[in-house]
């Protein structure tokens, strides 16, 4: 961990001093995968190509603004926070949600189609969660991150992540109940 | 129960991966940005700063309810700068502000 921090600090200092794009590219190589995962966890499944565009925007933005990095936090925390905020803005601009009106749950439907409808209902309920809770759910259940990893990536306490996951599950249960889907 | 639903929901969802061309595309964009963007960014910053300095100077020139000495004007400028810096720091979006905004957006 210390090596990672030292390496980031060293690379940031080298880039700020030299202004050489090659120095910045080394920072990109180290963090592009995590930035992409943060962005895709905000945008959700099926938005991978949009997430790539946002990831690219984030690095261009950071390239231009790195002088404003005040070193009060770790570089990675600052970078992932920018990625999260940018992805939230993009998602709000997209405003893409599954059509919940079309999702009905007919008790007489065959089991297989009930599973599909349930899956749609869960996806719809997920899309209605607050950004922080939905991101935590995606990082945990989709991308397989532990609570500690999510906390480190998003720059919050582990207890906060646990609370987000707990509240998200509770909201999903209520949302499913309101759709007539048994939790 | 919801936990099981979520596990089932995402075990069939493919893991997202960066496309093979991503790194080379980003490298090209960064190099283009390096050659064109830096000078433009600095220029834009200074234009904005000049705008605010000019606006403050015009206001001070045309709207002067009481005559102030140079020392008083300087003191006012320093207090104004301190207030502006404090407000900028306070207005920066922290985790609490973001949570509040999330709640309002729901």
Q: Return the domain boundaries, chain A.
A: 2-94, 102-178
CATH class of A2-94: mainly alpha
Q: What is the pLDDT along chain A (183 residues), one digit of tens a residue?
A: 445 556 788 888 888 888 888 888 999 999 999 999 999 999 999 899 999 999 999 999 998 888 778 777 888 989 999 999 999 999 988 865 553 433 444 455 555 577 788 888 889 999 999 999 999 999 999 999 999 999 999 989 999 999 999 999 999 999 999 988 775
Query: Which residue in A has a C-alpha nearest to residue B26's C-alpha?
Result: A56
Chain A hits for B42, CB-CB cut-off 8 Å, are: none
Q: How far apart are CA A137 and CA A145, in angstroms?
A: 10
Q: How far apart are CA A48 and CA B37, in angstroms?
A: 27
Cβ distance B27 to A25 less than 8 Å, yes or no, reads yes
Residue B46 distance to chain A (closest CA, Å): 15
Q: What angle do CA B2, B7, B11 make, to 5 degrees?
A: 150
pTM summary value: 0.69
Cβ distance B16 to A36 less than 8 Å, yes or no, reads yes
Backbone phi, psi, residue A174, to 5°: -65, -40
Contacts for A32 with CB less than 8 Å, ≥ 6 apart: A55, A59, B18, B22, B23, B26
Cβ distance B105 to A85 less than 8 Å, yes or no, reads no
Q: Which tokens go with B85? A: 């810096």
Domain extents in chain B:
19-65, 67-106
CATH class of A102-178: mainly alpha
Q: Which of B1, B37, B50, B99 is nearest to A19 (CA)?
A: B37
């Amino acid at each position: 961990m210390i090596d990672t921090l030292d390496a980031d600090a060293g690379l940031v200092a080298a880039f700020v001093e030299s202004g050489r794009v090659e120095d910045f590219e080394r920072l990109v190589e180290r963090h592009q995968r995590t930035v992409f995962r943060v962005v895709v966890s905000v945008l959700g499944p099926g938005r991978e190509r949009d997430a790539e565009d946002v990831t690219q925007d984030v690095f261009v933005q950071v390239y231009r603004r790195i002088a404003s990095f005040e070193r009060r936090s770790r570089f990675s925390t600052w970078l992932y926070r920018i990625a999260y905020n940018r992805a939230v803005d993009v998602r709000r601009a997209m405003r893409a949600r599954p059509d919940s009106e079309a999702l009905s749950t007919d008790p007489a439907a065959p089991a297989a189609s009930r599973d599909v409808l349930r899956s749609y209902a869960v996806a719809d309920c997920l899309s209605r969660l607050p950004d922080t809770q939905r991101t935590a759910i995606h990082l945990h259940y989709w991308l397989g991150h532990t609570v500690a990893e999510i906390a480190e990536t998003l720059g919050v306490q582990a207890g906060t992540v646990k609370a987000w996951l707990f509240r998200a599950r509770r909201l999903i249960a209520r949302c499913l109940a309101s759709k007539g889907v048994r939790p | 129960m919801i936990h099981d639903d979520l596990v089932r929901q995402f075990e069939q969802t493919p893991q997202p991966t960066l496309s093979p061309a991503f790194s080379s595309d980003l490298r090209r964009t960064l190099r283009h940005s390096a050659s064109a963007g830096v000078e433009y960014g600095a220029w834009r910053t200074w234009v904005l700063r000049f705008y605010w300095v000019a606006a403050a100077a015009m206001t001070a020139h045309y709207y002067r309810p009481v005559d102030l000495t140079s020392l008083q004007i300087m003191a006012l400028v320093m207090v104004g700068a301190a207030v502006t810096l404090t407000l900028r720091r306070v207005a920066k979006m922290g985790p609490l502000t973001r949570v509040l905004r999330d709640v309002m957006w729901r």
